[in-house]
Structure 1
Amino acid sequence: MALENKWSVIKIVQELLAREPDKSSITPSLISKKIDLVLMLNPLWSEGLDRDAVTEELIRRFSIWVGVDGSLVDMKGHIPWLTADRKKDWRYWQRYREWQELKLSWAAVESMDKTTDHIIGMLEDPRRADSWDRRGMVVGHVQSGKTGNYTGVICKAADAGYKIIIVLAGLHNNLRSQTQMRLDEGFLGYETSSVPENGSALIGVGKIDSSPSLRPQYVTNRTETGDFNTKFAKNLGISPEERPWLFVVKKNKTVLTRLLHWIHKHVAETVDPDTGKPLVTHLPLLMIDDEADHASVDTGENVVDADGVPDNDHSPKAINSLIRQILHSFSRKAYVGYTATPFANIFIHERGHTANEGPDLFPSAFITNLAAPSSYVGPSRLFGLETENGRAGALDLVRSVDDHCEEDGRTGWMPARHKSSHIPLFAGQDTMPDSLTTALHSFILACTIRSLRGHGNEHCSMLIHVTRFNLVQGYVHQQVSSYVTHMRQRLKRRIDHQVLLKELEKLWHDDFLSTTESICSEISDKSDYRMFDWNSVIESLPNVLDEIEVRMINGTAKDALDYSDSPTGIKVIAIGGDKLARGLTLEGLCVSYFLRATKMYDTLMQMGRWFGYRTDYLDLCRLYTTDDLIEWFEHIADASEELRAEFDFMMESNLTPKDYGLKVKSHPVLMVTSPLKMRTAKTLYLSFSGSVVETVTFFRDQSKIKRNYDAFMALQKGLGDAEIIPQRKRIDRKDSWSGVQWSDVSPHYVIEFLSSYETHPDSIKVKSDMLSEFIQEMNSVGELTTWTVAVIGGSVKIPESVGGLHVNRMRRSAKKNDDSSRYSIGRLLSPQDEALDMDEPGWLAALKYTQEKWKPDPGRATGKELPDRPNGPAIRRIKGFGAEGLKPRPDKGLLLISLLDLEAADSSGTSAELRVNKESLPVVAFAISFPFSNASKSVPYMVNLGFWGEQYGASE
């Protein structure tokens, strides 16, 4: 009761505070006055009420801000319809909003209202009588609240008049069941069961407004066998003309076939005059596709012929075909895919069409990028973003794991590659590696501290994801369960408990205290990160251990972790693989132990269950993973930011989803997503227009270093004498570089340099021969015909003779997990480098463009302050397209070269302490900044599927 009172008081006080015109006036004193006012209305709410906790929660909520969404929209065939007058009686939405206000900040609820209005408004009016078809996609950050968003869309769709609502909820029972539970709470308002009856328990929105007229009909339920079945559907006693029907179904061939046949037999009231197939014309359909990049995408080839004409005889993959056939069975329909990794969907051919299925699932109507609230922790916040001086902005929550396998990578407790028959042994014993023991200790401490902070009734989860094989997961489950039971007994019986307490105390002092201090200094929200003395922790440990469960999550509905049925909070260690990896939410996730060896962009992003909201316990969160995976997640953070920035620029240019699709299909960063999902097993066509490429991986082999050094020497010999790079005026300061440059360089010299240079095979985005070919392609249409070539110097006092002048070598630290054959760095360029050839008017135009197009989004670590220097995309765009009063320069390319000192890279000392070999050759690194172009030129990149799979692993 005390907990219910707390949230009731918070909700009403928040509504009162939201009416304050000046939100900066919201102080503890004002909150206290509003609490007094609310308790006067209902004195019973004061029972067990922790006023301090209410005040802290409200201060936190009103310190949260939400970023700005963006959309690419195609209005073709669309009739605008959503008005304030149309919304005034929307009761499904109103009760959902009130329910969300119990747990979300005022800013987050307002943002959701605005976003869902935008999405539903881009769909068609369900009252529109003629045929229509709208298909869109919503891109959210991983674990950022996409389910909450599409629940809001469903509520508004039901209010507007959509009658059939189908939610495609993953491939496995546990995710389908969890999604059903969430929609029971947020839309239906009562618990679904296998026996439909009016007496089902009211939950969620049903407790706010339980009117019988607001009771949608469910066709699927939350039980193990709750997916769609014909027998259950036959017994429905309500017509969808009166109230909407909700279907929550797996992306499963049998289930979708069953649903399709039922729609044809029981719902369709006419036939399609063109195909003769059953057709539903009286009921508008909304289909929500959760994790839309997973299973929904047709990975078959030859969707269109060489001339781009759709192949009507193409046979799509089963799931894709059935989804499209269901849509094709309605004359009025809307499809919205939700995902955090949209790249597979963007590769869907926008003209893909077959006679049986109709159009493919390309989001032709709109693509919306959801911004995140400031309380969200995503890849760029956890791993930081790459700079020339290493990563910046990363939170100190990641811990490296290296004891899970032996040095050969093939043996040990959990080698990267193992079979379903693998038995995990550590040092030859049936036990866990030390790193997993430490991770378990971290979880126990996190649960204990959360309990001491007053979060004892809130959920607390740990994820262990080390293998995709159920049999191997079983061994891990047995080891973890045995260890947790043994810990519990040691503390209860006080047998050998001192050794355990010493280990926990050491972790407490060495990690937890310092990390909490570090996190407090790095974040700005008003979170309660109290720490306690060790004796308090010891006293709480036994009770916390008693509450911890260890569960296997292998895809059944009983694994769905029904958090809503556990008001006192679940404390669970969840062990699973692929079926745990995608979509399933682990509430209160604190500690993750993650060894899954895949490098596919979309797969890794979806496996990032640790991203999300960690109010009041972010400092207690830990991610234990390998150095290789840390590097790949860092790459993902950078690539995700790059693609979202590209989206922003295209949105401001009023381009459509089709335009974005064409751009992304040629984007070199996507060479880390599955070729099967790109619908091509052979060739990608890449364009470098409007992008910057940097070499960040190099050979250590001296013969390769010499080859690239010779290519550089040939380049400077051809260019002749150089000049010092001039300073550039930037409003109230000057940008300067140490180095030399050549202006008005013929593309011939750049092409020759790139043709002679050999890039490392692990260099994903930068292939020198492809770049050379691309420049030649652009030259054929009169672009990239004039170059600035610069050699930028560094801090290593070894001068190289370049163009008759001296340039110092540069130091870029080597990444610690490189093998002996390669040398890798973070970034080569500094933020100011791409504007090296821009005068002040051009720089100011790029700055203005950056600020106009800039959108605050905490999910991208962009903060709330306007940038004070132009970003790379703006610089490249101004050069390529020009600005008012500026001449476009798509002819102008920029090649930046640096001479890296390998011994300095491997040294941990300062520049003054370096002892370097002046006789050694420098490692030649380069970057190219390409201006934007309107010319549709690209170059082929051949994909070897066998090599791809070997390098990056399976995509799912």
Structure 2
Amino acid sequence: MTLSDQKAFDSILSMAQNMLRLAAERAQSAVTPEMIEKELKKLAVLMEEDFDLIDREALVDELIRRSSRTVGENATLSSGEDHVPWLDAERKKGWTYWRRYSEYMETRIPWTALDALDVATDEVLSQLEDPRREGAWDRRGLVVGHVQSGKTGNYTGLICKAADAGYKIIIVLAGLHNNLRAQTQIRLDEGFLGFATIADADELPAVGVGLIDSDTSVRPNAATNRSDKGDFNTSVAAKMNVSPEQRPWLFVVKKNKTVLERLLHWIRNRVVNHVDPESGQKLVTNLPLLIIDDESDHGSVDTGEDVVDELGNPDLEHQPKTINRLIRSILHHFSRKAYVGYTATPFANIFIHDRGETQEHGPDLFPAAFITNLAAPSNYVGPGRVFGSASSTAHDLPLVRPLADDDFQSWMPQGHKNGYRPRWKGEDRIPDSLAEAIRCFVFACAVRKLRGQGSRHSSMLIHVTRFTSVQNVVVGQVAEYVRDLKGRYTRDIDLADLEASMRLEYETVFLPEMQRIRSALVEGETLDDFDWIDVRAVLPDVLSDIRVREINGTAKDALDYAENEGTGLKVIAIGGDKLARGLTLEGLCTSYFLRTARMYDTLMQMGRWFGYRDGYLDVCRLYTSTEMVEWFGHIADAAEELRQEFDNMVAAGATPKQFGLRVKSHSVLTVTSRAKMRNARPMQLTYSGDLLQTIVFPNRKDDIAANFRATDRFIKALGPSLDLNQQHFVPQGQRWNGRLWRDVPALSVISFLREYRTHPASFRIMSPLIADFIEEMNKDRELTRWTVALIGKDSGPDDKLRSVGGCSVNMLQRKRTTEHSDRYSIKTLISPRDQAIDLKEAEWTAALELSRKTWRNDTDRNDGRDPPSEPRGPQIRRILGEGVKDAGFPHRRDRGLLMLYLLDPTEAGEALAEADPVVAWAISFPGSTSERRVSNASYVANSVLWGGLNDWVD
């Protein structure tokens, strides 16, 4: 597509999108193909010349795709302390920067996403203070998005609105590296400034929003530029004089000691306009400040010790770490200021001490004013969809290729040192698994070319070592492999065997996998398949276009996507830390990832494969170790648990300071770096309000038999049972398979848990510890009587009935997630409805109402597009802990729910065909205000929780 063709396409797309929005509003219905056809006929008359230049079928496909997108609902915890509500329709009249950014984004994102961006940025801006408000004010908040979900676009919109509202100095803290800073500057040139900040240029050409609005009188001022060395410097500062009458100033700076010191020095010496007569502090009182902290969990958190004393009072003489100190100092020099951190991994931010403050630097960066959780659009593919979550059945999709140790260990062993030279089977070459991944990338590029996406960027990520010397060797090995493929296909040399194997790989593996991914994850778009003969025809051109690039501090690490906008860059990017955070890989199709960082936030930020893959999700693949697949699954669960807790707090009207957060820890993983957790302490653990489910089991016959015998004895001792359909309330249409016991004494459950052997690799489910917890809670007369359910699979053609304790039940099939020699691991055990077993109707209804209230329509959280039709676990447990006051139902904290299941042992391995069933269980604990705890380090709590500030629950 030529540049003029693209402009015509974008112009028609923008007009058509707006017309369809109005048509859908008039019809009060979703957009239909008939509606699209009707509006395009009108446009064809109005824009006849442009229509002659475009592919009408491609336009229709794009409109259908965009019309099918939905965006979930954001949620905000906020504090009204020293805040005056100010943002209304009248205040937004005549805004320039947002109007042109909104128009610029029309061709780039669906209107539903643009509307959502407008709502989300209004929500955040309204939590800040009106920049016209006189006197001193300070608002600090946090925006939590998803990894690779468009946070830059969100804060660009916020910056536009803040500038329209009257914020005069806007500082964006953009990563730790020059290329990340330059990348952010380019994005803000396009979305906010409207001109390319080219160093030493006589004229600054219009870009992005500047091509929409050519009025140079509204151009903001830029203190930094898009070159690698375009950060804030002394020579630029010497020429800058800022006054309140001027248009806003934008600074895009690294989180770097030298740069931030320069900026602070300039503020102190050139911007300050007032000295406080009492403290002598230099202040800027005439220029409202907004700081946007991109990746605010990285580099900005104070990792020093003793922020507060043993009584919780701030140490006013504490010396924060450098970057944290400088950010706080800049804020402290302004009497009117706002700070907004953006992150997808808030694990470090929640450990900032909420009371941290010093005389010299002011308060710490705890988000005391607000925390906003952004929902993901329906086309976002994140951890929840890639790896599944404990609250949903794992997708088990070929999107992820788990690698066994034998697939890479001899080539790139864990713990290798700088200077190591990787070898595969004694030769200087890549392992077979990486060669397969590169061929997958070649197939992906070929399919995209055949789909008409050949002029778009396609990237492959290889991230296997942090050492640049080792990366350099990998670059050579990868380049040699690509060179060999290219030579054979372009010169037809020794091609027969290679082509036969690639054809077999494409037809029997890659193509069927594409179809499976589409059926599970792709909605609202039709993606074509192609025969091998079509793919074969474009392979020589595809291979000729592929470039191998090294991305690290010692290499020329610019990925020149902009220079290849017309043809599309096809790149295999090999690197380490520079690829780990922030750097965008356009059109990322294939990832080969072996880096074994052990921190939640670092690992999640390395997930560059998350994001938007419209038109090519089915050709994407992630190659990583089986261990990493488990870790990412666990992190996805930890992040989801955080969000669920957050939703419950929003429903209760809590503030950020009342948000007592608990983050799962792991036997190997740490939540974030130990330094960032100085203000976190191992918890005296409570399971109140939690669901525990066994997902890791022994796979030795003797161990399986021991657990089966313990369960057999337990059930026999329970006495007569009810049919599981005889619950207090069974929703219409539900049928159950199993047995039910009520009012089981706690001692019976405790004895069972002490006898049942949990696997050592089960990092959270430790039967003896859970038994201890129940005993503790019994002291407050809680969890004293139990409902026990033995739950079987619904009847069907593959029934496998087994008896335990004299009760016959249908065994469940649960696939193993990864191959382990010592255990049988599954993703999730229970069905969503199981936690509602034996609820009273009023409890069931109240829990459903609360579930709908906290529903966010967030695809990556497996929320679904429709509000829940049955209550969800977290809300059930909360209702049981609080009661249903409107219906006169007291809480039922004395009641625990133990669910028992028999799993088909053949899923654990064919050798177990004659073994006893694998016994699995889950426990649902009602919420509680009890202070009872058991000692364990499976959770780490932030200062708010262990500081006792969550007493609001009472």
TM-score by length of 1: 0.90
Letter aligned with residue 585 of structure 2: L
Q: Is the contact between residue 903 and residue 919 of structure 2 (CA under 8 Å) also seen in structure 1?
A: no
In structure 2, what is the equivalent of residue 875 of structure 1?
876
Of 174, 181, 192, the match for 1:169: 174
* Deviation sequence 1:23-62 (CA, Å, 0-9, x none): 7574555545544544554554245322221221112111
Q: Which stretch shifts more, 721-730 or 167-176?
A: 721-730
Letter aligned with residue 204 of structure 2: S
Q: Is the contact between residue 818 and residue 825 of structure 2 (CA under 8 Å) also seen in structure 1?
A: no
Match status 1:140 vs 2:109 = no
> What is the CA–CA distance in structure 1 between the aligned matches of 2:90 and 2:372, rounded to whole Å?
25
**Alignment map for 1:46-195 (pairs within 5 Å):** 46=51, 48-195=53-200
In structure 2, what is the equivalent of residue 931 of structure 1?
926
For 2:53, what is the secondary structure of its paired residue? Answer: coil
Q: Is the contact between residue 298 and residue 317 of structure 1 (CA under 8 Å) also seen in structure 2?
A: yes
In structure 1, what is the equivalent of residue 16 of structure 2?
13
In structure 1, what is the equivalent of residue 340 of structure 2?
336
Q: Is the contact between residue 5 and residue 54 of structure 2 (CA under 8 Å) also seen in structure 1?
A: yes
Match status 1:400 vs 2:402 = yes
Letter aligned with residue 400 of structure 1: P
* Deviation sequence 1:829-867 (CA, Å, 0-9, x none): 232322223133322322232223322112223221222
Unaligned runs of at least 5 residues, structure 1: 946-956
In structure 2, what is the equivalent of residue 624 of structure 1?
623
> What is the CA–CA distance in structure 2 between the aligned matches of 1:524 and 1:401, rounded to whole Å?
25
Letter aligned with residue 873 of structure 1: P
> What is the CA–CA distance in structure 1 between the aligned matches of 2:506 and 2:52, rounded to whole Å?
35
In structure 1, what is the equivalent of residue 219 of structure 2?
215
For 1:891, what is the secondary structure of its paired residue? Answer: coil
How far does residue 309 in structure 1 lie from its aligned partner after superposition?
Answer: 1.7
> What is the CA–CA distance in structure 2 between the aligned matches of 1:840 and 1:826, rounded to whole Å?
30
Match status 1:480 vs 2:481 = no
Match status 1:738 vs 2:738 = yes
In structure 2, what is the equivalent of residue 370 of structure 1?
374
Q: Is the alpha carbon distance of 1:134 and 1:943 closer, same or farther for their aligned partners in structure 2, counting shifts above 3 Å?
A: same
> What is the CA–CA distance in structure 1 between the aligned matches of 2:324 and 2:102, rounded to whole Å?
33
Match status 1:249 vs 2:258 = no
Q: Is the alpha carbon distance of 1:279 and 1:758 closer, same or farther for their aligned partners in structure 2, counting shifts above 3 Å?
A: farther
In structure 2, what is the equivalent of residue 954 of structure 1?
none
Letter aligned with residue 929 of structure 2: N
**Alignment map for 1:570-719 (pairs within 5 Å):** 570-660=569-659, 662-664=660-662, 672-674=670-672, 675-680=674-679, 683-700=682-699
Letter aligned with residue 849 of structure 1: L
Q: Is the alpha carbon distance of 1:517 and 1:812 closer, same or farther for their aligned partners in structure 2, counting shifts above 3 Å?
A: closer
Letter aligned with residue 418 of structure 1: H
* Deviation sequence 1:625-644 (CA, Å, 0-9, x none): 22222222233333333332
Q: Is the contact between residue 671 and residue 765 of structure 1 (CA under 8 Å) also seen in structure 2?
A: no
Q: Is the contact between residue 163 and residue 248 of structure 2 (CA under 8 Å) also seen in structure 1?
A: yes
Letter aligned with residue 161 of structure 2: K
How far does residue 473 in structure 1 lie from its aligned partner after superposition?
Answer: 1.0
For 2:922, what is the secondary structure of its paired residue? Answer: strand
Q: Is the alpha carbon distance of 1:479 and 1:781 closer, same or farther for their aligned partners in structure 2, counting shifts above 3 Å?
A: same
Letter aligned with residue 628 of structure 1: E
How far does residue 174 in structure 1 lie from its aligned partner after superposition?
Answer: 1.7
Q: Is the alpha carbon distance of 1:272 and 1:939 closer, same or farther for their aligned partners in structure 2, counting shifts above 3 Å?
A: farther
RMSD across aligned positions (CA): 3.0
> What is the CA–CA distance in structure 1 between the aligned matches of 2:768 and 2:783, rounded to whole Å?
16
In structure 2, what is the equivalent of residue 4 of structure 1?
7
Q: Is the contact between residue 175 and residue 557 of structure 1 (CA under 8 Å) also seen in structure 2?
A: no
Q: Which stretch shifts more, 418-427 or 846-855?
A: 846-855
For 1:233, what is the secondary structure of its paired residue? Answer: helix
The count of residues paired between Structure 1 and Structure 2 equals 926
**Alignment map for 1:803-842 (pairs within 5 Å):** 805-806=806-807, 810=811, 813=814, 815=816, 817-842=818-843
How far does residue 572 in structure 1 lie from its aligned partner after superposition?
Answer: 1.2
How far does residue 113 in structure 1 lie from its aligned partner after superposition?
Answer: 0.7
Q: Is the alpha carbon distance of 1:275 and 1:754 closer, same or farther for their aligned partners in structure 2, counting shifts above 3 Å?
A: farther
Q: Is the alpha carbon distance of 1:354 and 1:709 closer, same or farther for their aligned partners in structure 2, counting shifts above 3 Å?
A: farther
> What is the CA–CA distance in structure 1 between the aligned matches of 2:314 and 2:845, rounded to whole Å?
46
Q: Is the contact between residue 174 and residue 555 of structure 1 (CA under 8 Å) also seen in structure 2?
A: no
Q: Which stretch shifts more, 885-894 or 455-464?
A: 885-894
> What is the CA–CA distance in structure 2 between the aligned matches of 1:664 and 1:586, rounded to whole Å?
33
Letter aligned with residue 432 of structure 1: I
Q: Is the alpha carbon distance of 1:25 and 1:653 closer, same or farther for their aligned partners in structure 2, counting shifts above 3 Å?
A: closer
> What is the CA–CA distance in structure 1 between the aligned matches of 2:722 and 2:439, rounded to whole Å?
60
Of 257, 273, 284, the match for 1:280: 284
Q: Is the alpha carbon distance of 1:778 and 1:442 closer, same or farther for their aligned partners in structure 2, counting shifts above 3 Å?
A: same
Q: Is the alpha carbon distance of 1:330 and 1:774 closer, same or farther for their aligned partners in structure 2, counting shifts above 3 Å?
A: farther
TM-score by length of 2: 0.91
**Alignment map for 1:416-565 (pairs within 5 Å):** 416-523=414-521, 525-555=523-553, 559-565=557-563
> What is the CA–CA distance in structure 1 between the aligned matches of 2:830 and 2:455, rounded to whole Å?
49
Q: Is the alpha carbon distance of 1:363 and 1:808 closer, same or farther for their aligned partners in structure 2, counting shifts above 3 Å?
A: same
Q: Is the contact between residue 459 and residue 589 of structure 2 (CA under 8 Å) also seen in structure 1?
A: yes
For 1:733, what is the secondary structure of its paired residue? Answer: coil
How far does residue 380 in structure 1 lie from its aligned partner after superposition?
Answer: 2.0
For 2:348, what is the secondary structure of its paired residue? Answer: helix
> What is the CA–CA distance in structure 1 between the aligned matches of 2:213 and 2:556, rounded to whole Å?
29
> What is the CA–CA distance in structure 2 between the aligned matches of 1:664 and 1:727, rounded to whole Å?
37
> What is the CA–CA distance in structure 2 between the aligned matches of 1:699 and 1:273, rounded to whole Å?
71
How far does residue 609 in structure 1 lie from its aligned partner after superposition?
Answer: 0.8
> What is the CA–CA distance in structure 1 between the aligned matches of 2:351 and 2:362, rounded to whole Å?
18
How far does residue 556 in structure 1 lie from its aligned partner after superposition?
Answer: 7.5
How far does residue 117 in structure 1 lie from its aligned partner after superposition?
Answer: 0.7
How far does residue 147 in structure 1 lie from its aligned partner after superposition?
Answer: 0.5
> What is the CA–CA distance in structure 1 between the aligned matches of 2:139 and 2:435, rounded to whole Å?
51
In structure 1, what is the equivalent of residue 856 of structure 2?
855
> What is the CA–CA distance in structure 2 between the aligned matches of 1:672 and 1:714, rounded to whole Å?
39
Q: Is the contact between residue 260 and residue 326 of structure 2 (CA under 8 Å) also seen in structure 1?
A: yes
In structure 2, what is the equivalent of residue 892 of structure 1?
894
How far does residue 385 in structure 1 lie from its aligned partner after superposition?
Answer: 3.6
Q: Which stretch shifts more, 598-607 or 336-345?
A: 598-607
> What is the CA–CA distance in structure 2 between the aligned matches of 1:522 and 1:706, rounded to whole Å?
37
* Deviation sequence 1:616-670 (CA, Å, 0-9, x none): 111111112222222222333333333323322221111111222x143689999
Q: Which stretch shifts more, 935-944 or 256-265?
A: 935-944
> What is the CA–CA distance in structure 1 between the aligned matches of 2:50 and 2:825, rounded to whole Å?
60
Match status 1:205 vs 2:209 = yes
How far does residue 506 in structure 1 lie from its aligned partner after superposition?
Answer: 2.1
Q: Is the alpha carbon distance of 1:183 and 1:904 closer, same or farther for their aligned partners in structure 2, counting shifts above 3 Å?
A: same
> What is the CA–CA distance in structure 1 between the aligned matches of 2:828 and 2:170, rounded to whole Å?
47
Q: Is the contact between residue 346 and residue 664 of structure 1 (CA under 8 Å) also seen in structure 2?
A: no
For 2:465, what is the secondary structure of its paired residue? Answer: coil
Q: Is the alpha carbon distance of 1:668 and 1:622 closer, same or farther for their aligned partners in structure 2, counting shifts above 3 Å?
A: closer
Unaligned runs of at least 5 residues, structure 2: 794-798, 941-954
How far does residue 757 in structure 1 lie from its aligned partner after superposition?
Answer: 5.3
Identical positions, percent = 50
> What is the CA–CA distance in structure 2 between the aligned matches of 1:872 and 1:59, rounded to whole Å?
35
For 1:559, what is the secondary structure of its paired residue? Answer: coil
> What is the CA–CA distance in structure 1 between the aligned matches of 2:134 and 2:44, rounded to whole Å?
51
